[in-house]
Structure 1
């Protein structure tokens, strides 16, 4: 039977968490004199809900998952950092990643004095066979699977994720920052049968509120209890909670934008594939495209001089640029500019 104590840092497991004023009393009151706040009302003079109750209630209904299985963070990056703090003993446990992938996993590992072991994706950006992965795994810790993967745009099957998690003694973290653009089912559906799984999602991509810094982690209740124990007392501010909730309640607009961006992505793939300077456009289930050019540096620098900013990923994948799918008008300008180079 799964026991969170076996993979949690001993000092964290024994930790008595800080109890904030807003955690010691919940409910309605007429006079608040418990948290040393400024008493003059400005709508933001009070501390935010440390449990993000209203926001979590909406997420719970949307994802069909218990509120006790939801952690809300200051962006997904906070959840990533807390996972290292909770489940990796510095200098002992390791972090396993499949490059090319999101760079923040390695940065967070280094900050927390955790060695990163890189297991490269295959030439067609697939995760290696389990037998090959197990050859290089020699500790518990965290294993990150980004799906859809950044910067390649491809997804990994739930069966593959389940297989890896069943053989890894640490925590498997599936980062689904771009899952809203994909037709693939979320790994949240695996949580009941895969106890060592944590799934990350975000409001920054499809929901269009990157400035709010709202990230989510989904896991069994034991994981969420540990993360809540070590997070800052008021890690998500009031304005982010309020605006995030508004965005969730206006989800039809979000769905319309997702459909439009996926349609625009298909148009971009077709048009880019016809341009002589383009070698290859990789398939993508995210809101971006990885594009291999004959001379990526020339394309990148020239577009930048025209005020069109894309991401140079050539250090990870030779001659490749990552292009976010823009609005129809922005995409037309982009294609015209590339054709003129």
Structure 2
């Protein structure tokens, strides 16, 4: 399956900007090609525009070839690029499955691209027949968040496989929270489905939201399109260095902290379920818990007054009555539970 028929014609014809660092790839002693300041500051040279060293480390970690990896300024850059690559403004549209991550809608709105919404089922799974019924020849992208934000549950892999098979456009599976899940990543499906894009991030389990580094895994054909459209130096040198150092030296710390968060998540789930005003604690595969309760707005304000900030999701589709609570450090979770027990 070639995806070229899905790409905007102007993108297929686009001649990308050619930077000095992309034109010369060899070794040299004197670089006078990029109009850089020649005096060494540690950051006076432009970064690798395609981040090959960092991609090699990510490839070893994820088991995905380097030519199938794109790195973006957060996953949001990849979301923005996929809309601009595949969707003709005022002609094509994306499909989203609310309740879900809000940036899919925002990116489409910015690009003047339509949005069709197909609600998740009451158990927060995709309604595959309804999705396919809502799609037509202008349905270019289907966004699936798994584990889903704000509900926390993973999407059944068979639903994703079915949609990759039957949906005629590009399927984007956003796995920002996959490290917290026992379910397999959809990167295992890349060889089977050339229309699949899988997003992951360093912002959550790796604890590096501040460096804004997202990953997209896809066919080499799609990755080439990303590289064609992205700004030439979209990942700065500091971000590349910090991420590479973490992958090379901090994997034991990552595993230790992840284990703590999973233990704390289980503790919070049990404790929250025991509160008299809590109606339901939804199953979660993420680093947060969606909790349905008697008075969500009042409880939210009560926690604000106590200096504890959670996310009020009471007005979100299918999430009425609910607060979303991020799993914090043990002492933060203690403070939350103490406050709620005293409410």
What's the TM-score, normalizing by structure 2?
Answer: 0.97
SS at match of 2:163: helix
The answer for the alignment partner of 2:309 in structure 1 is 309
Kept in 1: contact 2:68–2:218 (CA 8 A):
yes
Q: 1:26, CA displacement in angstroms?
A: 1.9
Residue 131 of structure 1 pairs with residue 120 of structure 2? no
Once the two structures are overlaid, the 10-residue window that deviates more, 248-257 or 183-192, is 248-257
How far, CA to CA, are the matches of 1:340 and 1:45 in structure 2? 55
The answer for the alignment partner of 2:97 in structure 1 is 98
Q: 1:131, CA displacement in angstroms?
A: 2.1
Could you report, residue by residue, the CA deviation over 1:56-98 in whole angstroms, capped at 9, with x for unpaired residues?
Answer: 0001111111110000000000000000010111111111011
How far, CA to CA, are the matches of 1:227 and 1:66 in structure 2? 16
Alignment of 1:221-260 (within 5 A): 221-249=220-248, 250-260=250-260
Structure 1 residue runs of 5 or longer lacking an equivalent are none
The alignment covers a number of residue pairs equal to: 339
Q: 1:132, CA displacement in angstroms?
A: 2.1
The answer for the alignment partner of 1:174 in structure 2 is 173
Could you report, residue by residue, the CA deviation over 1:268-303 in whole angstroms, capped at 9, with x for unpaired residues?
Answer: 011111111211110100000001111011111111
How far, CA to CA, are the matches of 2:280 and 2:158 in structure 1? 29
The answer for the alignment partner of 1:184 in structure 2 is 183
Structure 2 residue runs of 5 or longer lacking an equivalent are none
The answer for the alignment partner of 1:336 in structure 2 is 338
SS at match of 1:152: coil
SS at match of 2:37: coil
Could you report, residue by residue, the CA deviation over 1:299-325 in whole angstroms, capped at 9, with x for unpaired residues?
Answer: 111111221111111111111110000
The answer for the alignment partner of 1:32 in structure 2 is 31
How far, CA to CA, are the matches of 2:25 and 2:276 in structure 1? 63
Root-mean-square deviation (CA, aligned residues, Å) is 0.9
How far, CA to CA, are the matches of 2:139 and 2:5 in structure 1? 10
What's the TM-score, normalizing by structure 1?
Answer: 0.98
Residue 16 of structure 1 pairs with residue 15 of structure 2? yes
Kept in 1: contact 2:72–2:235 (CA 8 A):
yes
Kept in 1: contact 2:76–2:103 (CA 8 A):
yes
Once the two structures are overlaid, the 10-residue window that deviates more, 185-194 or 300-309, is 300-309
